[in-house]
Chains A and B, each alone.
Chain A
Amino acid sequence: MRARTTVTVPRTRAFPGGTIPGILLLGDLTWIEQAFGPALVRLHRDGTARVAAAVTPGGKPAPWMAREFPRLRGAAHLDVLDEPPDTLALIATPLRQRPAKITHALRRGWHVLSACPPAESAAETEKLCELARRNEVSLSVDLPHRLSPWFRWLRLIAGGRALGGCFTFRMEEGGEDIGPGEVPPLGAWLDPGLRAFDLIADWFGGMQPLSAADDALGGVEAVARAEFAMTAGFHGSLRLDRDRRLPPSYLLRCRRGTVHWDSASAKPIRLKFEPSADALVGVLEGPEQDRNGVLAETRELQLRQLFGAVIRGNNPANHATTLLPALAMADQCRRIRSSLPLPWFSANESAVAASLSLHGRAA
């Protein structure tokens, strides 16, 4: 079995009025270069869009920008830029500044593609969505996993294809951050937790956390665990671990068998049909391969879908409202979380840790 799929890029479209949409870059330009660089260059070169402006330290474009987009205008502050309405602002600022920058962009009539998440909570994100609606622009979120072949393939299995209905799952995440890195880092419930919550919500529908625990001791969690009751009537578990930084691993138990995918490239996906001993083993393209090409393609596809949705006047597939269930789940887990046991601590350390975690929760 070889579930390798190619991402198809749609035909280039014209923007309203026949103009070429402009793109404005704001935030962590190193991350933007790594995540979106190839996609931006392709769109710019084929005339689909024009990378027009960037907010950079000192207003000076980074070398890669100057090389690839010679007419790009740099500015030290967002206020200085006078980009026209319908410009797409690609925003990757630190999370604590992100809602303010998104608000600024939406009020100026710009569409926004935000690094994940647009804001720390579901409520705050909902407000931004409402602001986008009022200003008749779109607010979408960078969620490249949704366009990856492995996501769609596992979604079919989760939906009951091949192995029948799913009755439990176990997911592990932590190998790779989903957004730009920042100091202090985001807690694991948000990064990479939101990707996991988004997968669960998309594959299995509604859910309620039964338990949640993490290791935050006055700061943000690096390890977190949760158990869920799904609306469909089964349970599942999630483990987020930035301590070990293992690649994502997904285990789905279904009525007629199990599927286990450890996304490390060396380990193939395994479909086991029960009660027979038959198994199918194959390779799914995962994050390892994504980094070498597919992810760049999915990011390009994401941008093209966004422009297409703007032309048609509807919401893009990655509209921020579609992330609300995942954000709500992260909020709930943080609300009900307890402290994980840390059994390698000395007795004194355990006592101090207990007081810190109590203090942290109270705060």
Chain B
Amino acid sequence: MKVAIFNAAGAVGARIVETFHLSGSPQPVALAATPAGLSRAGRFAVSLRLVDPRSAESLRSALAGCSALVFSPAEDDDPNRLAEVATALAQVSAEGAIRRLVMLSDAAPTESKGGAKDDAKPAPPGGFTGTRSAALAAAEGILLGIGGDQLPLTIVLRTGPIYGARAPAFTELARGLESGDVPTSHGNTPWNGLHIDNLVAAVRAALHAKAPDRRVFNLTDTGDLTKEAFQAAVAHELRAPTAEKSASSPKTTEGRGLRGQGLLAEKQLGYRPSVDLAEAIRRSCAWWRHTRD
């Protein structure tokens, strides 16, 4: 199966290409709007294609030969254009050979208060936090609106903050912890992050699941961990100066995250996280040290 990944320029898109290629299947086709956006995927002998995401003709050509599409908006994609891109994707996917479309979204509903909802309940109808969230939610609506028995079957994987290799939020956190520039007291604010490798595992599950519902699946791998405890665990792994101030130990994270959130995704998609929280933090910090030094 050939899977088109757009936008391969972002941290998540790049990691999906990396993981799919290194595991041998499915066969990734990296799409980006600019040649520079293909530099991460270009490290591998994979198919690289330029695409103008707002042009149906360009999308048709870029998706040629692919039977599935992962729509992963990059961190710096213009929110004002996401709905337009989603409309073009919906149109081209519906008329072409795309049988499954997986959209990755970090839209944060205002009612969730940062917490992952029990995804057996419908997503809240209320507003979304920030322009990007609102734009992502609109894009979700457009893609899920491909109705009835019409292909492609659309699945939305909605996450909180993504952490791991190249994720901008994690880069900012690691840099801040090392320089002492991040506030360390967040009370009991839940973290609800998702490691990038677990997101890739969820994408793989969504691509292969038999007859799942067209809907939004919420995902997190940090369980009921608070933001403060997550930061403390990262600081501990990085041996950052801020780690001394916290009483956190590696045991806080061991075995966490392998079950507990994203229950519907586990049940309907067969999703299983690929790393527990301790390993997720280890890999994330290993990437940061490699990049920083």
Give the B-binding residues of A (Cβ under 8 A): 177, 181-185, 188, 215-222, 241-245, 340-346, 348-349, 352-353, 356
> Knowing A183-B50, A184-B42 touch, does A348 contact B23 (C-beta < 8 A)?
yes
Residue picked from B43, B287, B290, most chain A C-beta under 10 Å: B43
Find out whether the CB atom of B287 lies under 8 angstroms from the CB atom of A219: no
**10 A-B residue pairs with CB within 8 Å:** A181-B36, A183-B49, A185-B38, A215-B43, A218-B45, A219-B41, A219-B45, A243-B40, A345-B22, A356-B44
Give the A-binding residues of B (Cβ under 8 A): 18-19, 22-24, 34-36, 38-46, 48-50, 164-166, 171, 197, 274-275, 283-284, 286-287, 289-291
Find out whether the CB atom of B290 lies under 8 angstroms from the CB atom of A342: yes
Find out whether the CB atom of A343 lies under 8 angstroms from the CB atom of B289: yes
Q: How many Å from the CB of B89 to the closest CB on chain A?
A: 20
Q: How many Å from the CB of B20 to the closest CB on chain A?
A: 11
Residues on the B chain within 8 Å of A343, using CB: 283, 286-287, 289-290
Across the A-B interface, give the 9 residue pairs with the lowest CB-CB distance, nearest first: A181-B35, A343-B286, A344-B287, A218-B45, A344-B165, A242-B39, A349-B22, A344-B283, A352-B22
Q: How many Å from the CB of A91 to the closest CB on chain B?
A: 18
Find out whether the CB atom of B286 lies under 8 angstroms from the CB atom of A219: no
Given A220-B39, A243-B166; 5 other pairs, CB 8 A cutoff:
A181-B36, A184-B42, A217-B43, A219-B42, A341-B290
Find out whether the CB atom of A222 lies under 8 angstroms from the CB atom of B43: yes
Residues on the A chain within 8 Å of B291, using CB: 241, 243-244
Q: Which listed residue (B39, B274, B289) contacts A185, Cβ 8 A?
A: B39
Q: How many Å from the CB of B7 to the closest CB on chain A?
A: 15
Select from chain A the residue with minimum beta-carbon distance to B171.
Answer: A244
Instruction: Determine the distance from Cα of A276 to Cα of B165 in the docked complex, in whole angstroms.
Output: 40
The secondary structure that dominates the B interface is: helix
Find out whether the CB atom of B44 lies under 8 angstroms from the CB atom of A184: no
Find out whether the CB atom of A216 lies under 8 angstroms from the CB atom of B35: no
Instruction: Determine the distance from Cα of A244 to Cα of B167 in the docked complex, in whole angstroms.
Output: 10
Find out whether the CB atom of A344 lies under 8 angstroms from the CB atom of B290: yes
Instruction: Determine the distance from Cα of A244 to Cα of B288 in the docked complex, in whole angstroms.
Output: 11
Q: Which listed residue (A222, A342, A353) contacts B40, Cβ 8 A?
A: A222
Residues on the B chain within 8 Å of A349, using CB: 18-19, 22-23
Q: How many Å from the CB of A161 to the closest CB on chain B?
A: 31
Instruction: Determine the distance from Cα of A183 to Cα of B38 in the docked complex, in whole angstroms.
Output: 8
In the complex, the number of residue pairs spanning A and B with C-beta atoms less than 8 Å apart equals: 83
Residues on the A chain within 8 Å of B38, using CB: 183-185
Find out whether the CB atom of B42 lies under 8 angstroms from the CB atom of A222: yes
The secondary structure that dominates the A interface is: loop
Residues on the B chain within 8 Å of A243, using CB: 40, 166, 291
Select from chain B the residue with minimum beta-carbon distance to A214.
Answer: B43
Residue picked from A181, A184, A220, A222, most chain B C-beta under 10 Å: A184
Q: How many Å from the CB of A251 to the closest CB on chain B?
A: 15
Find out whether the CB atom of A219 lies under 8 angstroms from the CB atom of B46: yes
Instruction: Determine the distance from Cα of A343 to Cα of B50 in the docked complex, in whole angstroms.
Output: 29
Residues on the A chain within 8 Å of B40, using CB: 222, 242-243
Find out whether the CB atom of B43 lies under 8 angstroms from the CB atom of A219: yes
Select from chain A the residue with minimum beta-carbon distance to B11.
Answer: A243
Find out whether the CB atom of A344 lies under 8 angstroms from the CB atom of B36: no
Residue picked from A177, A219, A222, A346, most chain B C-beta under 10 Å: A219
Residue picked from A241, A343, A356, most chain B C-beta under 10 Å: A343
Select from chain B the residue with minimum beta-carbon distance to A359.
Answer: B45
Select from chain A the residue with minimum beta-carbon distance to B15.
Answer: A344
Find out whether the CB atom of B290 lies under 8 angstroms from the CB atom of A183: no
Instruction: Determine the distance from Cα of A188 to Cα of B43 in the docked complex, in whole angstroms.
Output: 10
Instruction: Determine the distance from Cα of A184 to Cα of B44 in the docked complex, in whole angstroms.
Output: 10
Residues on the B chain within 8 Å of A340, using CB: 290
Instruction: Determine the distance from Cα of A222 to Cα of B24 in the docked complex, in whole angstroms.
Output: 21
Instruction: Determine the distance from Cα of A342 to Cα of B283 in the docked complex, in whole angstroms.
Output: 10
> Knowing A181-B35, A183-B49 touch, does A220 contact B42 (C-beta < 8 A)?
yes
Find out whether the CB atom of A185 lies under 8 angstroms from the CB atom of B35: yes
Find out whether the CB atom of B43 lies under 8 angstroms from the CB atom of A221: yes
Residues on the B chain within 8 Å of A185, using CB: 35-36, 38-39, 42
Q: How many Å from the CB of B114 to the closest CB on chain A?
A: 26
Q: Which listed residue (A184, A215, A344) contacts B286, Cβ 8 A?
A: A344
Select from chain B the residue with minimum beta-carbon distance to A340.
Answer: B290
Residues on the A chain within 8 Å of B34, using CB: 181
Q: How many Å from the CB of B179 to the closest CB on chain A?
A: 14
Instruction: Determine the distance from Cα of A216 to Cα of B40 in the docked complex, in whole angstroms.
Output: 10
Find out whether the CB atom of A344 lies under 8 angstroms from the CB atom of B164: yes
Residues on the B chain within 8 Å of A342, using CB: 290
Instruction: Determine the distance from Cα of A341 to Cα of B165 in the docked complex, in whole angstroms.
Output: 14
Select from chain B the residue with minimum beta-carbon distance to A341.
Answer: B290
Find out whether the CB atom of A184 lies under 8 angstroms from the CB atom of B283: no
Instruction: Determine the distance from Cα of A183 to Cα of B50 in the docked complex, in whole angstroms.
Output: 8
Residues on the B chain within 8 Å of A217, using CB: 43-44
Residues on the A chain within 8 Å of B283, using CB: 343-344
Instruction: Determine the distance from Cα of A353 to Cα of B41 in the docked complex, in whole angstroms.
Output: 14
Find out whether the CB atom of A344 lies under 8 angstroms from the CB atom of B35: no
Instruction: Determine the distance from Cα of A216 to Cα of B24 in the docked complex, in whole angstroms.
Output: 17
Q: Which listed residue (A182, A183, A218) contacts B44, Cβ 8 A?
A: A218
Find out whether the CB atom of B36 lies under 8 angstroms from the CB atom of A216: no
Instruction: Determine the distance from Cα of A345 to Cα of B283 in the docked complex, in whole angstroms.
Output: 7
Select from chain A the residue with minimum beta-carbon distance to B292.
Answer: A244
Residues on the A chain within 8 Å of B23, using CB: 348-349, 352
